[in-house]
Amino acid sequence: MRIAFRYAYCMPQLVTRLDERLLADVDALVAAGAVESRSEAVRLGLERLVDQHRRQRVGAAIVEAYRRQPQAEAELAGLDEATRALVGEEPW
C-alpha cells in the first residue's frame, strides 16, 4: 500500500480527452491483456512517439552530416566486396 501511495503522489499526471472510438480501442487492448491499464497504454504510446521522434531527428542529423561531408571514394572502396563476404558467411 505504501508503494502505491508514493507512486500515485510522486509521478506527474497527464490529463487528456479521447473520443469514444479511441477509448474503446484502448479498453479492448486492456481486455485482451496487451496492456495492464489505460495508463500503461498511454505511457507506451507516448514513449513510442517520443522514441520515433528522437530517431527521426538523429537520422536527419546523420543525413545532413553526410551531405555536408560526403564519403570519399577511398572510404567507399571495397564495401561491396566486404558486404558480399558478410552475407556469404550467414547460415541462410
- For the chain, give every domain's residue range: 2-70
> Average of pLDDT values for 83-88?
87
Name which of 33, 41, 48 is nearest 14 in CA terms. Answer: 41
Tell which wins on pLDDT, 60 or 77: 60
CA 8 to chain centre: 26
Q: Amino acid identity, residue 50?
A: V
pLDDT of residue 6: 63
Q: Could you tell me the pTM of the whole model?
A: 0.67
Dihedral sign, CA of 72, 75, 81, 85?
negative
**Would you state the pLDDT for residue 76?**
82
Task: Say what the pLDDT of residue 52 is.
Answer: 98
pLDDT digits (tens, 9 = 90+) for 17-74: 999 999 999 999 999 999 999 999 999 999 999 999 999 999 999 999 999 999 888 8
